[in-house]
């Protein structure tokens, strides 16, 4: 589906391409939610694609059986990011766990605080014990926060966007709320303010399968996120690799060997599919 869809798009930038794979929950499903946000510039191309390939414009169930478009995902949405118009869908209102895309809400709240002047990307943070990598749940994706480190809020955001660090999400939550539970309440209040009635969070990272949303609401969350924070694509989501910790992040006695790890963006489509920018 990735190649089948994107190879027909013109060389204009996709606003975002986002996919959630349930393999993160060690299930046998290939993919639970698949969706694309596209800029208004290529909406005409999408309609032309529908005319050229009628099966694509049929109902999702018919499209899946047509031989042209077979989706292995439980849910799928193609949305015009400029208007919120959905131009293709499959089971868009089925409830599904958003997994690490939960971090988009965490990042959204951080960026709102920065926009308000109450925080800065350049401020330094000392991770608390609760956010250290060694204290995260088994199987967590990590940026490897540890005792004695200091890092900028910008690095923390990259730790969420590039390597999907659950420790980074916890550290961000504790920067802006007294407890993680308090931050989760902020997340759910923001989801309600966005009109996302089926979206609810129980953690800041997406680790729990009790986090819940739908393909339609997740696409809408991403649309709002990009409209409010367009700079986030270049600053965070299109960054292809990230090194941490560096010498300046660790105590002086460890700077000769800080244990730096070079991590590549978990979005394997960056640099491989024309127009994918986050």
Residue 265, both tokens: 């963006």
**Under 8 Å between Cβ of 36 and 5:** yes
Q: Which of 32, 75, 90, 103 is catalytic?
A: 103
Q: Is the pLDDT of residue 100 over 90?
A: yes
- The pLDDT assigned to 11 comes to 29
- Give 14-45 pLDDT, tens digit per residue: 333 333 333 333 222 233 555 566 554 444 33
Query: Is the peptide bond prior to 245 cis by the omega test (within 30 degrees of 0)?
Result: yes
- The pLDDT assigned to 33 comes to 55
- The pLDDT assigned to 36 comes to 62
- The pLDDT assigned to 52 comes to 39
- The pLDDT assigned to 277 comes to 83
Between 136 and 78, the more confident residue is 136
Q: Which of 24, 164, 205, 238 is catalytic?
A: 164
Q: Which of 100, 205, 232, 238 is catalytic?
A: 100
Q: pTM score > 0.85 for this model? A: no
Q: What is the total residue count of the chain?
A: 278
Average pLDDT, the chain: 81
pLDDT-based confidence at 275, cuts 50/70/90? confident
For residue 45, give the nearest of 77, 6, 92 by alpha carbon: 6
- Give 140-188 pLDDT, tens digit per residue: 999 999 999 999 999 999 999 999 999 999 999 999 999 999 999 999 9
| Mean pLDDT of all residues in 226-238 | 95
Between 23 and 191, the more confident residue is 191
Q: How far is CA 55 from the centre of its chain?
A: 30
Q: Is 100 annotated as catalytic?
A: yes
Percent of the chain with pLDDT over 70: 75
In the chain, where are the structural domains located? 2-90, 99-264
What is the domain class of 99-264 according to CATH?
alpha beta
């Amino acid at each position: 589906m990735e190649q089948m869809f994107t190879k027909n798009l013109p060389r204009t930038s996709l606003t975002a391409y986002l996919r959630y794979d349930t393999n993160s929950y060690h299930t046998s499903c290939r993919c639970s939610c698949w969706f694309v946000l596209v800029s208004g510039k290529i909406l005409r191309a999408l309609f032309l694609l529908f005319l050229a390939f009628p099966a694509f414009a049929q109902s999702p169930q018919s499209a899946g059986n047509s031989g042209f478009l077979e989706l292995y995902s439980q849910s799928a949405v193609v949305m015009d990011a400029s208007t919120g118009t959905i131009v293709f869908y499959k089971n868009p209102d089925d409830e599904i766990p958003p997994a690490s895309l939960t971090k988009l809400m965490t990042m959204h709240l951080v960026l709102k605080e920065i926009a308000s002047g109450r925080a800065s990307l350049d401020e330094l943070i000392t991770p608390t014990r609760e956010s250290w990598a060694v204290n995260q749940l088994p199987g967590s994706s990590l940026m490897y926060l540890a005792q004695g480190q200091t890092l900028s809020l910008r690095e923390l955001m990259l730790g969420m966007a590039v390597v999907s660090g659950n420790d980074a999400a916890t550290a961000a939550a504790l920067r802006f709320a007294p407890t993680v539970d308090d931050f989760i309440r902020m997340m759910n209040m923001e989801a309600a303010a966005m009109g996302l009635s089926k979206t609810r969070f129980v953690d800041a990272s997406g680790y729990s399968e009790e986090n819940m949303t739908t393909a339609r609401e997740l696409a809408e969350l991403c649309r709002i996120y990009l409209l409010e924070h367009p700079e986030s694509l270049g600053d965070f989501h299109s960054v292809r690799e990230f090194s941490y910790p560096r010498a300046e992040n660790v105590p002086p006695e460890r700077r000769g060997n800080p244990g730096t790890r070079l991590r590549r963006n978990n979005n394997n489509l960056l640099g491989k599919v024309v127009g994918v920018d986050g």
